[in-house]
Amino acid sequence: MRGYYKKWFWPLALPGLILFAAVVLVPFLIGLLYSFTAWRGTYFVGGSVWTSFVGLDNYARIFQSRQFVHALVYTLQFTAIAVVVVSVAALLLALMLDFAGKRVGAFRTIFFLPNLLGGLALGFVWQFIFQNVFTLLFGENGLNIPFLTNMTQDTTKNLFALVIMVTWQMAGYMMIIFVAGLNNIPRDLYEAGALDGAGGWKRFRYITLPMLMPSVTIVLFLTLAGCLKLLDQNVALTNGSFNTSMLSLQILRTVRYTQPPDYGQAQAQAVVFFVLVAIIGLAQVYITKKKEVDA
Amino acid sequence: MTRAAATTAAGRSSLKLRPGKIAVFLILIISALTTLFPLLFLFVNSFKDQGAIVAEPMALPRSWSAAYVSDAMRQIHFGQAVFITAGITVLSVALIVFCASMLSWMLVRNDSPASRIVLLGLTAAMLVPFQSVMYPLIHEFETLGLKNLPGLILMYGGFGLGMSVFLYHGFFRGVPLALEEAALIDGSGILGLFFKVVFPLVKPITVTVIILNSLWIWNDYLLPFLVLGNAEYKTLTLELYYAKMLSGQFSNPWELIFPAVLVSIIPIIVLYLFLQKYFIKGVTEGAVK
Amino acid sequence: MNVNSRNRHRAGKKWTVAAAVLTLGASLLSGCGSREAKAPTDYDFYIFNGKTENAEALDKVVDRYEQETGLTVKVFSLGTTDSAETLRAEMNSGGRPAIFSTNIGGVTEWAESGAILDLNDASDPELKALAQDVPEALRLSVDGTQNYGIPYNIEGYGLIVDTRMVRDLFGADQTQPFLNDFKAATYDEFETLVKAVGDYIATGAAPSVKLNGRSYAFVAQKTELTSQLTGVFAEAGAEKWTYGDHMGNMALNAVFGSAVAARTATEEQVDELQAPLAKLARTLDLYSTHAAGPDGPMERGPSYINSTTASYDVSVQLFSSGKALFLKQGNWVYPNIAKLNTDILPTLTFLPIKLPLEQSDIQVDGLTVEKFNRSVPEFVPSYYAINAKVTKLEQELAQQFLVWLNTSKEGRAAIVEDFQFIPYNVDDTVQFDNELNNSLIQYKLDGDTLSNPFNGSPAGGGYWGQEVLGSILQERYYNRAGAWTADDYKTIAREAVQGWKDVMY
């Protein structure tokens, strides 16, 4: 049998492997190489890739750029808050649906809906809502909550505007994952818990949450990756004004804010960005997986 | 509320009307309305002129004239754009399903350190930010003469592979080898074996792969922007972006943007309402692994 | 079996590695090796036009050229900020443009890549002569020695005013003297005028003002026109380019006589921007405290920079409907005004933007405060350049087209009539229906023009104006109520200078 599959490995695996190599692997390795050169998009300084080699220069300049460092910090702040808010909102929705019983299909349909819609298109709508509707509703003649007015005109407020928008888009999706996780918890565990006299909170803390850890792992992974790499919403809401560029946008900006355009520098930033996302992503999976085992 | 009324309200679902449940339902209803608010807002404002949108964003339109909607549809070449976007999405997803399912099957059936490294590489690709491959990728495809619609489909094929292989791989491990052996003894060829026996077995995860990939490909903006740019044939998101850019490079023509966004999201919402069972199932299956 | 399979396995691995190396190598070589120029198959040459204003007209002109010569020409037009990236993509592709547009801000890239032909070396003698006739100050170059392009046209900006409004403020017989005296007036006189007009709008009465030493009294009763005024200036607080780029350019003009001078500036020269920038801030303070709104004055604060209520379109709308006396914009705004109100088109004209400079603030040789305050910036926004990386034949044909466009009777007529462009070599025989163009031509003939050093600011004008100066103003000053102090002016200037120096290399 093994021999049979081995014979067919290359013919069947090759289309996928070639596609992957051509679209991800090769560009990634080329990008890695270019990040050490004075690449200008349409040419290399000095004529060829090898003559434009600048060593670690591009990397050394990354952290001298105040804008990049700011975008990095802003991205991390946003991600930290958004991941918590999205996960908690999704979990609450899932628990409520679970608690409410069977006839909740309509709610599930509605909560999932925003996930289908593009970040850029809906970003335009949210931009108007934050700029004009919120400012009207929460202004001095309305509910008078200054924090919710002109949210796209301030670094900090915009962070929360992004959190609101991302929660709106992602919470429904994560809720579905939690609901699936909740359905997998054997009911007799709760009955046993009830017999031991465990109250609602205790049942949640000692039965639901540990049993839900596999779902938590996935939810955290998806929200972390989504938030760290967020671009469309950032473009639509502020396009980087008021120091609100996140990393994805900042890297796109690097070539626009240099002349001749410094694609080598942008590529080095992108490599650092990848390392960051990979470390955070893998660390999270490692930690929550460990929790699953412990549980 | 009388006892009789309460019984009917609780109905066949055997719900008991306790205060806790009422509170939960109330919260759910409020959350649902909040979730729908931006969409209702979008809908209402797609029938107003710029002045009315800016002055009274929360008011209902004075008349429900479809002028702005039909104007927007013309500007974004709605029919053509839907056709192109759907074409790109269908072909890309077909490519992903085809490549990812066979590759994962082979990786599972030829388990070795090397195949595990390949799997790890594919999985790690999920963490690669688009920015770190984008310029070289465009450069490479340009050289190959593929900076066009077919090239775009190939790119989506490559980008979708990581997550899809990850999902398929987990599923194929659960497919018993004995089934395949039996089919082989019956004289099945490798393709017959794959398409008649193995592929039907992993249908649930195929639904997941289709749904998850369709969602991001349909809505994607940056890749079509870089590959197609201002070409004659644009995707829906790209049309939207250019409509906004061209009609007011330095302002927000909301009376165009709102109806344009509205019509651009209608196809996917309609599809969702018809196939929502598969959408939810797709997401659920994807999460269990 | 076991051993065998392991061997085969190893062979497989080697094969994989080899394949990967091969693919990578091939891709790298093809990606960055020098590719030979290949002749295009479905057209004779290709024009990449980076300006949308003349997109349709250029198509028609090229159609005529094709009929005349029997050639096939591909034209692609794209404006907006994305055109730079699209042009780069086209330059990387198999179908490279033979003529492309660039400007002083973008030329360094193409000069460094070798893709732009120095027209001093043009193979077509007529084009070479045409290029050498381009006045020194308008030439496209990196450091002043090259001559890389043929100018598209001349654009300029200043304070646009509807002269009927002047008539209704000061009386019919005063209109022409007012316009003349306004040009010669000092900044202080201008400031007094702005405050007086502001008072007149608010209360219907204001003391008479002096311009160039001569006194102008307000009309006792507001007219139909002047009673519509809600402010002196139509501002667009959401658009950083209107103040960051264009007003920033005013301050730069005190220190740098050209874009090349700004690009090659030393740190000491950049420091000299401190004083002009502080004075610019004072001017912007004056503008923004006298801004017009839809139903009354527009005040600084969050709505002053809101992209719905304070956009470019809104500012044009305010001016076109007579809510503001001045619109600080360029002649490119003409079609936008024409869409909103054709009545005011025949009476539009440009007045100069003034800064409260002292002679010691000015570093440009021969420039006086008086000349500065009576001049408007006029510059070439785009040039036609020849791609040195297409085949000799395409280069040849492209050169012939540029000669035809700029020297033949049909070509020159097309520039003026179809493109509605002010030719770079304009003389007093050129007349437009467009009064804004005519006004700019007059300033040029009088020699009262400033330059576009802004295009020599970091990233060729793509960064400093909007992201440094524009952001400081928008995000920290325009968006809040309250007065600006002299210290604020200095802070704005200091940080804008620092922002420039941060990215010098």
CATH code for position A126: 1.10.3720.10
What residues does C159 pair with on adjacent strands? C328, C351
| Domain membership flag for residue A183 | yes
Residue of B85, B127, B254 to mutate, testing the A interface (most A Cβ within 10 Å of its Cβ):
B127
B142 touching chain C per CB within 8 A: yes
Collect all residues with Cβ–Cβ distance below 8 Å to C123 and sequence separation of at least 6.
C392, C395, C396, C399
Measured CA to CA, the distance from residue A245 to residue A71 in angstroms comes to 6
- pLDDT, tens digit, for every residue of C345-368? 999 999 999 999 999 999 999 999
What per-residue confidence (pLDDT) applies to B103? 95
Phi then psi for residue B117, to 5 deg, are -65, -40
Residue of C21, C113, C473 to mutate, testing the A interface (most A Cβ within 10 Å of its Cβ):
C113
pLDDT band at C24 (very low <50, low <70, confident <90, very high): very low
Cβ atoms of A179 and A97 closer than 8 Å? yes
Look-up of token digits 């399912």: B101
> Smallest Cβ distance to A274: which of B42, B128, B158?
B128
Over chain C, what is the mean pLDDT? 90
Residue type, C453: P
Look-up of token digits 């990008």: A31
Phi then psi for residue C222, to 5 deg, are -65, 145
Measured CA to CA, the distance from residue B223 to residue B125 in angstroms comes to 17
Cβ separation B24–A99 shorter than 8 A = yes
What per-residue confidence (pLDDT) applies to B277? 87
- Residue C36 pLDDT exceeds 70: no
| Domain membership flag for residue B14 | no
Cβ atoms of A116 and B269 closer than 8 Å? yes
Fold observed for domain C156-379+435-502: D-Maltodextrin-Binding Protein; domain 2 (3.40.190)
- Residue C39 pLDDT exceeds 80: no
Residue of A43, A44, A131, A157 to mutate, testing the C interface (most C Cβ within 10 Å of its Cβ):
A43
> Smallest Cβ distance to B252: which of C12, C16, C308?
C308
What per-residue confidence (pLDDT) applies to A294? 58
Measured CA to CA, the distance from residue C45 to residue C390 in angstroms comes to 9
> Smallest Cβ distance to B254: which of A102, A111, A128?
A128
Residue type, A125: V
What superfamily would CATH give domain C45-151+381-418? Periplasmic binding protein-like II (3.40.190.10)
pLDDT band at C203 (very low <50, low <70, confident <90, very high): very high
Least confident of A249-253, C93-97, C251-255: C93-97
Q: Closest chain C residue to B244 measured between Cα atoms?
A: C80
Identify all chain B residues contacting C89, using CB atoms and an 8 Å cutoff. 138, 142, 147, 226, 229
Look-up of token digits 């001045």: C326
- Residue C30 pLDDT exceeds 60: no
Identify all chain B residues contacting A3, using CB atoms and an 8 Å cutoff. none
Cβ separation B229–C89 shorter than 8 A = yes
> Smallest Cβ distance to A40: which of C31, C112, C458?
C112
What per-residue confidence (pLDDT) applies to C2? 36
Identify all chain B residues contacting C314, using CB atoms and an 8 Å cutoff. 251
Measured CA to CA, the distance from residue A268 to residue B171 in angstroms comes to 37
B131 touching chain C per CB within 8 A: no
Calculate mean pLDDT across residues C268-281: 97
Cβ atoms of C456 and C144 closer than 8 Å? no
Cβ separation B252–C9 shorter than 8 A = no
Domain extent listing, chain C:
45-151+381-418, 156-379+435-502
B110 touching chain C per CB within 8 A: no
C321 touching chain B per CB within 8 A: no
Identify all chain B residues contacting A180, using CB atoms and an 8 Å cutoff. 284, 287-288
State whether ipTM is beyond 0.90. no
pTM: 0.89
What is each CA distance from A244 to A128, B272, B282, C115, in whole angstroms? 17, 33, 34, 36
- pLDDT, tens digit, for every residue of A26-78? 999 999 999 999 999 889 998 888 899 999 999 999 998 889 999 999 999 99
What per-residue confidence (pLDDT) applies to C309? 87
Cβ separation A117–B99 shorter than 8 A = no
C107: burial class by Cβ within 10 Å (0-12, 13-18, 19+)? Answer: buried
Calculate mean pLDDT across residues A159-176: 96
What is each CA distance from C48 to B16, C313, C404, C405, in whole angstroms? 71, 28, 17, 15
- Residue B11 pLDDT exceeds 60: no
Concatenating the DSSP letter of every residue in chain A gives -HHHHHHHHHHHHHHHHHHHIIIIIHHHHHHHHHTTB-B-SS-BTTSSTTTTB-TTHHHHHHTT-HHHHHHHHHHHHHHHHHHHHHHHHHHHHHHHHHHH-S--HHHHHHHHGGGGS-HHHHHHHHHHIIIIIHHHHTSTTTT--GGGSSGGGSHHHHHHHHHHHHHHHHHHHHHHHHHHHHHTS-HHHHHHHHHTT--HHHHIIIIIHHHTHHHHHHHHHHHHHHHHT--HHHHHHTTTTTTT--HHHHHHHHHHTSSS--HHHHHHHHHHHHHHHHHHHHHHHHHHHHHHHH-
What is each CA distance from A123 to A152, A166, A168, A295, in whole angstroms? 12, 10, 11, 40
Least confident of A268-272, B252-256, C31-35, C54-58: C31-35
Measured CA to CA, the distance from residue A164 to residue A160 in angstroms comes to 6
Instruction: Name the nearest CA neighbour of B47 among B66, B73, B74.
Output: B66
Look-up of token digits 């980076």: C50
Over chain A, what is the mean pLDDT? 91
Q: Chain A: list its partners (3+ Cβ pairs within 8 Å).
A: B, C
Would you call C196 helix, strand, or coil by DSSP?
helix
B230 touching chain C per CB within 8 A: yes
- pLDDT, tens digit, for every residue of C106-147? 999 999 999 999 999 999 999 999 999 999 889 999 988 999
Calculate mean pLDDT across residues A129-150: 90
Q: What percent of chain C has pLDDT over 90?
A: 80
Q: Based on the structure, what is the number of domains in chain A?
A: 1
Least confident of B94-103, B251-260, C312-321: B251-260
| Domain membership flag for residue A258 | yes
CATH code for position B227: 1.10.3720.10
Would you call C112 helix, strand, or coil by DSSP?
helix
Cβ separation C31–A30 shorter than 8 A = yes
A122 touching chain B per CB within 8 A: yes
**DSSP class of C298:** E
Cβ separation B249–C82 shorter than 8 A = no
- pLDDT, tens digit, for every residue of B20-77? 888 999 999 999 999 999 999 999 999 998 888 888 888 899 888 889 999 999 989 9
pLDDT band at C9 (very low <50, low <70, confident <90, very high): very low
Domain membership of residue A251 as a residue range: 65-294
- Residue A124 pLDDT exceeds 70: yes
DSSP H helices in C96-174: 107-113, 125-132, 163-170
Measured CA to CA, the distance from residue A100 to residue B16 in angstroms comes to 10
Q: Chain C: list its partners (3+ Cβ pairs within 8 Å).
A: A, B
Instruction: Name the nearest CA neighbour of A177 among A250, A243, A248, A111.
Output: A111
Cβ atoms of B142 and C93 closer than 8 Å? yes
Domain membership of residue B141 as a residue range: 70-288
B187 touching chain C per CB within 8 A: no
- Residue B272 pLDDT exceeds 60: yes
Instruction: Name the nearest CA neighbour of A222 among A126, A79, A89.
Output: A79
- pLDDT, tens digit, for every residue of B125-182? 888 889 889 889 988 888 888 888 999 999 999 999 999 999 999 889 888 888 888 8
Collect all residues with Cβ–Cβ distance below 8 Å to C489 and sequence separation of at least 6.
C278, C279, C281, C282, C285
Identify all chain A residues contacting B163, using CB atoms and an 8 Å cutoff. none
Which two structure tokens, joined as six digits, stand for A272?
């650092």
What per-residue confidence (pLDDT) applies to A160? 97
Measured CA to CA, the distance from residue A236 to residue A129 in angstroms comes to 12
| Domain membership flag for residue A86 | yes
Which two structure tokens, joined as six digits, stand for C419?
């493109």
Instruction: Name the nearest CA neighbour of C479 among C202, C233, C240.
Output: C240
Which two structure tokens, joined as six digits, stand for C342?
């054709």
- Residue A1 pLDDT exceeds 80: no
Helix or strand run (H / E) with residue C365: none
